[in-house]
């Protein structure tokens, strides 16, 4: 929904006088660091040390004099370095929210070790080596296999950073970096330079409701993790670094160094050894939580708008999609269904319950779904049952013992405290009550940074209506005064909040407000959306035992275990279309693979051409939804005939690809593998693609190369080395020798999607609803390198009952198939290996067609056998070949001719192992 701060950013200038010291005036080097005074091994195989400050200073407050250092190789590819106050417990991300190993308890007495120190001491694991320098204390992390230094905190005179700093409200640590390292991550922000981190750009992490149109600013999520990809002498290797800390921070990336400046908490660093990008994400999500399994229908197309004023409008939208023959699985309501913006209510006039229930029964019967929004702010209203029960259960965040008062869409609100177990129970009960009122199929939790239209300490004004009911709903109408008296509301170091060093409590909960057990909002702020996601997931899963679908705007490390994500309030511009790709790819690295942007832009009005091009990209987002602002013109895909044609084309292909996308969803849940990936995930040796932000892969081998510029009917696309085949026209081949850019035709209704060699892609025939598309016969596309006389290909397919909460084999409600193919000495073979075949067999799924691309020569196939049986001419099975065409940009002089072979009329049960072979008559 529309962010309050988008229209109010200029008011920030009026309050910047509270900022005091700013990050831009930060001294380059603060203090002289710490020295190591003791070190010992721990019973669990770690090392425990103590650090003493060398020389105190009061820049940003006094130094903490004694620190505890704990280092442990937690797995063969994960190293943890934890540094905290040795004498006093400090705030950390709660271990019940993000389960992980606990570091050793603080010691009551700390004595000097009798051990003699050497200059460098090493602590080696399977993949990573930790080494340290005692005075001043610094450490390095190296890769064991090649000796590469991945992280090095020691400061030299020539470095632009100093030694480690550890104060109550200011922590600083830095690392050297090689200048040719490519870094990704450190979100959430809108990165104008693409997916690679850009030296000199600001990276601030602090969950904030400013729209995604704001570049290089802290946005809705906080993900203090980066991936580092290097290619040394032709050998690529990737690793990742997580600083697990929920406090606000600035990260300064200078190209050859990176510095964290954090306003609280502890230094809790995790290193993931990789060495491939996929291995890094696997290791990362093994710690933070595997991505949530998504129901099959969630991979269909979604339509939403803020401004569907009544139910009849929603009914018309569904009907118009059907008339236009554009696929649609899920219809959404923003807050239009609510009674004066109050959560868990229905507007009795515009969304009368009997009519809504009849509508839902109608769409549920054909397999469509319905999702509504919930904001965390609970309206302060003595006649409102949700609020009454919240007060009775004491669930709200407090300020000086009373519920903290804020303003969002209903007017005055209190914010539930999801760190409180009682709040989690109350929230679950409210969701249960609402589900009995309206059987929604998922929930959309928005505004959960948390967003507040006011700033400071507020009271409800007497004698006037608030909000007035006229004018923009995001204007603060409470009586408010600034809070600047505490060190929490006005910390000594100012992060670059909102991109302009706004006070950290601006347009959110006051940072001196208090959560359950005395936890300060100052520390827990960026966890708000994450904690709400966990509570919402628990509630939905408990309702009917089904797999939940939740869309959250605010995210943190580990959110992907519970929710999907969209990139917030974007703009209907060509620039925002381009930015959406980078943000989508980043969230895959963050372990949140179910991600997409508002197709055609949230506001203002997109042009017809832009909407054409946007659906051609958005049809291949993992989460594909058109959503628009209340104040924008209607932009459903059928509003323009040209856009409808592009939608039928692009979404038509998406719905054929749903089995592939669903299998990627399974892989994401099992190993963290992103659904949408940068090209370097599959081609880490090909350094040209390290910064590529205008194309992306779905899985390992399906490449989308969209038009992202106005007025263009061609696109210059990068093709890594190998053979690529158009999935819209499988006769079209591009063989890229060594990698090259190719200019592709892309008229208005065309998006270029190519499948890489050595792949087997499972598809179905599509449909207007995923439930219908799921019942259609399967086809397989097999790809070999063009003109191959020898080659291998493989692919896989996962099928299950998508209502089950768990996505796993062995339940009797799922099937997994590995597909294989080979060509050798003129014989082509395609076969499968099935695990748990019963589910697929019970559903009657069959393979109807197999198409093999890139075969050598131009001769005809013959001697077809299926499961060892020869197929003669009397069979219904057809065997046809067609010569493939090479792109005009490709020199074909030394390129072998190749053919595609189609085998159709098959009736092969997908739940049983099968084998097929035929001979190719090679005719050059």
DSSP 33-53: -EEEEEEEE-TTS-EEEEEEE
Catalytic residue among 159, 329, 449, 836: 449
Distance CA 180, CA 193 (A): 17
526 SS3 class: helix
Q: Where are the beta strands (DSSP E) in 518-562?
A: 550-552
Residues 6+ apart with CB under 8 A from 11: none
Q: Which helix (H) or strand (E) holds 278?
A: helix 277-288
Residues 6+ apart with CB under 8 A from 775: none
Task: State which CATH number among 1.10.1740.10, 2.40.30.10, 1.10.3720.10, 3.20.20.80 fits the domain covering 296-664.
Answer: 3.20.20.80
Distance CA 285, CA 669 (A): 9
pLDDT of residue 109: 61
* SS3 sequence of 793-823: EEEEEEEECCCCCCCCCCCCCEEEEEEEEEE
Say if residue 24 is exposed, middle or buried (CB neighbours under 10 Å; 0-12, 13-18, 19+).
exposed
What are the pLDDT digits (tens) for 138-155? Answer: 999 999 999 999 999 999
Residues forming beta bridges with residue 49, ordered by sequence position: 39, 69
Residue ranges of the chain with per-residue pLDDT less than 50? 3-26, 113-119
**Which among 599, 598, 589, 587 is positioned nearest to 563, based on CA atoms?**
587
pLDDT of residue 888: 76
Residue spans per domain, the chain: 33-288, 296-664, 685-921
Distance CA 3, CA 887 (A): 46
> How many C-beta atoms lie closer than 10 Å to residue 538's C-beta?
16
pLDDT of residue 9: 39
> How many C-beta atoms lie closer than 10 Å to residue 83's C-beta?
24
pLDDT of residue 923: 56
Residues 6+ apart with CB under 8 A from 833: 817, 818, 820, 913
Is residue 561 within 8 Å of 157, Cβ to Cβ? no
* SS3 sequence of 163-198: CCEEECCCEEEEEECCCCCEEEEEECCECCCCCECC
pLDDT of residue 538: 97
Domain 33-288 falls under CATH 2.60.40.1760: yes
Residues 6+ apart with CB under 8 A from 544: none
Give CATH for domain 685-921: 2.60.40.1180
Q: Concatenate the DSSP letters of all residues of 239-273 into one string.
A: EEEEE---S-EEEEE-SSEEEEEESSS-EEEEEE-
Q: Where are the beta strands (DSSP E) in 24-95?
A: 34-41, 47-53, 66-75, 78-85
Is residue 773 within 8 Å of 655, Cβ to Cβ? yes
Distance CA 481, CA 181 (A): 47
- Is 209 assigned a catalytic role? no
Catalytic residue among 168, 250, 335, 446: 446
- Is 569 assigned a catalytic role? yes
What are the pLDDT digits (tens) for 826-839? Answer: 999 999 999 999 99
Domains 33-288 and 296-664 fall in the same CATH topology: no
pTM score: 0.96
Could you identify the residue written with the tokens 């130094």?
A: 63
Distance CA 671, CA 914 (A): 28
> How many C-beta atoms lie closer than 10 Å to residue 234's C-beta?
7
Q: Which helix (H) or strand (E) holds 421?
A: helix 421-437
Q: Which long-range contacts (CB under 8 A, 24 or more apart) does 342-349 make?
A: 342/379, 342/381, 342/384, 342/386, 342/410, 343/374, 343/375, 343/378, 343/379, 343/386, 343/430, 344/374, 344/386, 344/430, 344/431, 344/433, 344/434, 344/437, 345/384, 345/386, 346/437, 346/438, 349/310
To the nearest 10°, report the CA torsion of 462, 465, 471, 473: 90
Is residue 171 within 8 Å of 251, Cβ to Cβ? no
What are the pLDDT digits (tens) for 554-573? Answer: 999 999 999 999 999 999 99
**Which among 845, 900, 812 is positioned nearest to 658, based on CA atoms?**
845
Q: State how beta strands 235-243 and 223-232 pair.
A: antiparallel
Displacement of CA 131 from its chain's centroid (Å): 33
Say if residue 200 is exposed, middle or buried (CB neighbours under 10 Å; 0-12, 13-18, 19+).
exposed
pLDDT of residue 112: 52
Residues 6+ apart with CB under 8 A from 315: 359
Q: Measured in Å, how far apart are the chain's first and last C-alpha atoms?
A: 61
Determine phi and psi for 384, rounding to 5 degrees. -100, 115
Distance CA 883, CA 854 (A): 9
> How many C-beta atoms lie closer than 10 Å to residue 634's C-beta?
13
pLDDT of residue 21: 42
């Amino acid at each position: 929904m529309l962010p309050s701060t988008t229209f109010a950013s200029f008011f920030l200038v009026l309050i910047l006088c509270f900022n005091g010291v700013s990050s831009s005036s930060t001294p380059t080097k603060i203090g002289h660091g710490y020295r190591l005074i003791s070190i010992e091994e721990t019973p669990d195989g770690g090392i425990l040390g103590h650090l003493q400050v060398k020389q105190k200073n009061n820049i940003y407050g006094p130094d903490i004099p004694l620190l505890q250092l704990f280092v442990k190789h937690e797995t063969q590819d994960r190293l943890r370095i934890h540094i905290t106050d040795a004498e006093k417990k400090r705030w950390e991300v709660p271990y019940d929210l993000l389960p992980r190993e606990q570091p050793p308890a603080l010691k009551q007495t700390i004595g000097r070790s009798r051990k003699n120190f050497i200059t460098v001491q090493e602590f080696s694991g399977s993949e990573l080596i930790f080494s340290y320098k005692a005075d001043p204390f610094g450490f390095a992390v190296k890769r064991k296999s090649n000796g590469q230094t991945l992280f090095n905190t020691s400061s030299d005179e020539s470095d632009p950073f100093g030694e480690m700093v550890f104060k109550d409200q200011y922590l600083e640590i830095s690392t050297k970096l090689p200048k040719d390292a490519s870094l990704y991550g450190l979100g959430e922000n809108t990165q104008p330079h693409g997916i690679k981190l850009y030296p000199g750009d600001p990276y601030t992490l602090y969950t904030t409701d400013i729209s995604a149109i704001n570049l290089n600013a802290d946005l809705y999520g906080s993900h203090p993790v980066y991936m580092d990809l290097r290619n040394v002498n032709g050998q690529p290797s990737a690793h990742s670094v997580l600083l697990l800390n929920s406090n606000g921070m600035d990260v300064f990336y200078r190209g050859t160094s990176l510095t964290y400046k954090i306003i609280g908490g502890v230094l809790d660093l995790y290193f993931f050894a990789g060495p491939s990008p996929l291995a890094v994400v696997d290791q990362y999500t093994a710690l933070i939580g595997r991505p949530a399994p998504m129901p099959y229908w969630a991979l269909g197309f979604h339509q939403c708008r803020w401004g569907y004023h009544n139910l009849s409008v929603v009914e018309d939208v569904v009907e118009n999609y059907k008339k236009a023959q554009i696929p649609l699985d899920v219809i959404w309501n923003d807050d239009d269904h609510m009674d004066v913006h109050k959560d868990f209510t229905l507007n009795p006039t515009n969304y009368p319950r009997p009519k809504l229930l009849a509508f839902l029964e109608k769409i549920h019967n054909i397999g469509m779904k319905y999702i509504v929004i919930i904001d965390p702010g609970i309206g302060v209203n003595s006649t409102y049952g949700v609020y009454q029960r919240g007060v009775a259960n004491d669930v709200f965040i407090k300020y000086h013992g009373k519920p903290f008062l804020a303003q969002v869409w209903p007017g005055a609100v209190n914010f539930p405290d999801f760190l409180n177990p009682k709040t989690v129970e109350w929230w679950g009960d409210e969701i249960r009550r609402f589900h009995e009122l309206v059987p929604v199929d998922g929930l959309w939790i928005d505004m959960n940074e948390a967003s507040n239209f006011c700033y400071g300490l507020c009271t409800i004004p007497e004698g006037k209506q608030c909000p007035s009911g006229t004018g923009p709903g995001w204007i603060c109408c409470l009586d408010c005064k600034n809070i600047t008296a505490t060190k929490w509301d006005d910390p000594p170091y100012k992060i670059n909040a909102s991109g302009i060093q706004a006070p950290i409590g601006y347009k959110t909960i006051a940072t001196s407000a208090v959560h359950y057990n005395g936890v300060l909002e100052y520390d827990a702020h960026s966890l708000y959306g994450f904690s709400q996601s966990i509570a919402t997931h628990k509630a939905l899963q408990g309702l009917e035992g089904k797999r939940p679908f939740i869309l959250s705007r605010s995210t943190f490390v580990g959110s992907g275990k519970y929710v999907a994500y969209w990139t917030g309030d974007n703009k209907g511009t060509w620039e925002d279309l381009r930015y959406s790709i980078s943000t989508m790819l980043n969230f895959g690295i963050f372990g949140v693979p179910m991600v997409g942007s508002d197709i055609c832009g949230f506001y203002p009005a997109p042009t017809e051409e832009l909407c054409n091009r946007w659906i051609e990209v958005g049809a291949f987002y993992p989460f594909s939804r058109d959503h628009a602002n209340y104040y924008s013109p209607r932009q459903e895909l059928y509003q323009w005939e040209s856009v409808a044609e592009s939608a039928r084309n692009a979404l038509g292909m998406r719905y054929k690809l749903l089995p592939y996308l669903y299998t990627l969803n399974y892989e994401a849940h099992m190993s963290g593998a992103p659904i949408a990936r940068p090209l370097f995930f599959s081609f880490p040796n090909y350094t040209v693609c390290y910064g590529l932000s205008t194309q992306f892969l779905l899985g390992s081998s399906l490449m989308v190369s969209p038009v992202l510029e106005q007025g263009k009917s061609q696109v210059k696309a990068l093709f890594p080395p190998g053979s690529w085949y158009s999935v819209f026209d499988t006769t079209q081949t591009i063989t890229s020798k060594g990698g090259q850019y190719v200019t592709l035709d892309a008229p208005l209704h065309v998006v270029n999607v190519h499948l890489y060699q050595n792949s087997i892609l499972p598809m179905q025939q599509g449909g207007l609803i995923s439930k219908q598309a799921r019942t259609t016969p399967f086809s397989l596309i097999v790809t070999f390198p063009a003109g191959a006389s020898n080659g291998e290909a493989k692919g896989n397919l996962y099928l299950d009952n998508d209502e089950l909460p768990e996505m796993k084999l062995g339940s009797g409600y799922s099937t997994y198939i590995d597909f294989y193919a080979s060509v050798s000495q003129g014989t082509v073979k395609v076969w499968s290996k099935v695990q748990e075949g019963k589910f697929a067999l019970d559903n009657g799924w069959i393979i109807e067609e197999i198409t093999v691309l890139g075969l050598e020569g131009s001769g005809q196939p013959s001697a077809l056998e299926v499961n060892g049986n020869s197929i003669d001419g009397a069979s219904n099975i057809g065997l046809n070949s067609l010569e493939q065409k090479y792109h005009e940009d490709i020199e074909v002089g030394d390129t072998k001719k190749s053919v595609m072979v189609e085998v159709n009329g098959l009736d092969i049960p997908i739940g049983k192992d099968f084998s097929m072979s035929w001979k190719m008559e090679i005719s050059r």
